[in-house]
Amino acid sequence: MVEIVVEALVIAGMFAGLWALSCGLMVLFAHRLPNGLLRQVAEFLPACVTAARTLRKHPDVPRRAKIALLIAVLWVLSPIDLLPEFLPVIGPLDDVVAVVLLLRYAARSIPRQTLLAAWPSDPRLLERLLGRPH
């Protein structure tokens, strides 16, 4: 029984190491992309996590928006996915769709300037996703 647990931990550690390595490589390659839409898309999920972490401390952000942003961050960081991450192109699609929907929901109650100030990447993609301010 102990051997099975040890084997499971070793396998889990190997998968975690491979996942961390692939994330590091994606970040490295994303920084080498030329400026444009492809680079913005590659930077989107990390920018969402950074913006959510910044906005959760901001006094102008209502509680429901903070909860939506927390769910978005947890969704991205969660190892459980609707589509497995190892599938090319469509693997991270469930993360992107969930984050976009939660970000749009939260953005309804966050002042636009506050949201743009927290966005660490090129704001054009965020503006495109959020649409015109109401």
pLDDT in tens, 47-91: 888 898 899 889 989 999 999 988 988 887 777 777 776 666 677
DSSP H stretches of helix in 33-122? 37-55, 63-77, 93-107, 112-118
Is a pLDDT exceeding 80 seen at residue 31?
A: no
Per-residue DSSP letter, 78: -
pLDDT in tens, 81-94: 777 766 666 777 77
For the whole model, what pTM was predicted? 0.63
In this predicted structure, what is the pLDDT of residue 42?
67
Q: Where are the domains of the chain?
A: 1-32, 36-130
Measure the CA angle with vertex 43, ends 42 and 48; round to 5°.
125
Which one, of 40, 105, 43, lies nearest residue 72 by Cα?
Answer: 105
Q: Name the residue with tokens 């994606």.
A: 26
Whether residue 20 contacts residue 28, with contact meaning beta carbons closer than 8 Å, is answered with no
